[in-house]
Amino acid sequence: MITFAEDEKVIHEIRRHWYVLLTESFFVVILFLIPWAVFFGIDTLNIKLSQGEGSLFFFFSTLWLFVTWIIFMVVWTNYYLDVWLITNKRIIDIEQFGLFKRDVSEFRLDRIQDVTIEVKGILPTLLHFGDIHVQTAGEARMFIIKAVPNPYKVRDSLIKEHDRAVSESHGLTGHS
């Protein structure tokens, strides 16, 4: 669980682009369509079902849809909880790997040294998403958030917040 200081505010919640969710849930969509395809197949071939057979078909179709719905919710939860939180003090990087594994790392905004954007490929260019690499002072590790929507806007926001945090840490707020 993430705890915030009293004077800490979440400025941005950054998640991966919806395209990522679409690709991750693509197989779920295919699974979801199967009972409908079977239904239209039965209808097209004019197969007559008895009341018992109809009930049986309806039961297992609904069960199938129910299972795909649950799988989708698990996929969506993984997507939704994988987030970068930019507060007025720090950046929190939460990486969700399935339901039972997550990494949480954080760094102070004033420690940012370098922000790099990588937009690679046709779809990321057309749909305006890309990776943001953040290098922090004294850290060998590079923080990466993948497939961020509008990465240039996010970079500008990061740099703005970094400047503000640096000013505050040097006691320059209100003197510039």
Query: How far from chain centre, in Å, is Cα 41?
Result: 37
Nearer to other proteins by Cβ, of 95 and 163: the residue is 95
Say whether 104 sits in a helix, a strand or coil: strand
Query: 102-108 and 112-118 as β-strands: parallel, antiparallel, unpaired?
Result: unpaired
Per the structure block, which two tokens stand in for 47?
């197969």
Nearer to other proteins by Cβ, of 65 and 166: the residue is 65
- 5 touching other proteins, by CB under 8 A: no
Q: Which residues between 27 and 56 bind other proteins (CB under 8 A)? A: 50-53, 55-56
Burial of 68 (0-12, 13-18, 19+ CB in 10 A): buried
- 58 touching other proteins, by CB under 8 A: yes
Say whether 89 sits in a helix, a strand or coil: coil
| Residue among 114, 113, 145 nearest 132 (CA) | 145
Residue span 146-175 as binding mask against other proteins, x where in contact by CB under 8 A, dash where not: ------------------------------
Amino acid found at 92: I
- 10 touching other proteins, by CB under 8 A: yes
Can you tell me which of 5, 70, 137, 159 binds other proteins, judged by CB under 8 A? 70
Per the structure block, which two tokens stand in for 66?
């129910």
Q: Which residues between 78 and 117 bind other proteins (CB under 8 A)? A: 80-81, 83, 85, 94, 96, 99, 102
Stretch that binds other proteins, among 74-82, 116-124, 131-139, 162-170 (CB under 8 A): 74-82
Burial of 1 (0-12, 13-18, 19+ CB in 10 A): exposed
Q: What residues line the site for other proteins (CB under 8 A)?
A: 1-2, 10, 13, 50-53, 55-56, 58-59, 62-63, 65-67, 69-70, 73-74, 77, 80-81, 83, 85, 94, 96, 99, 102
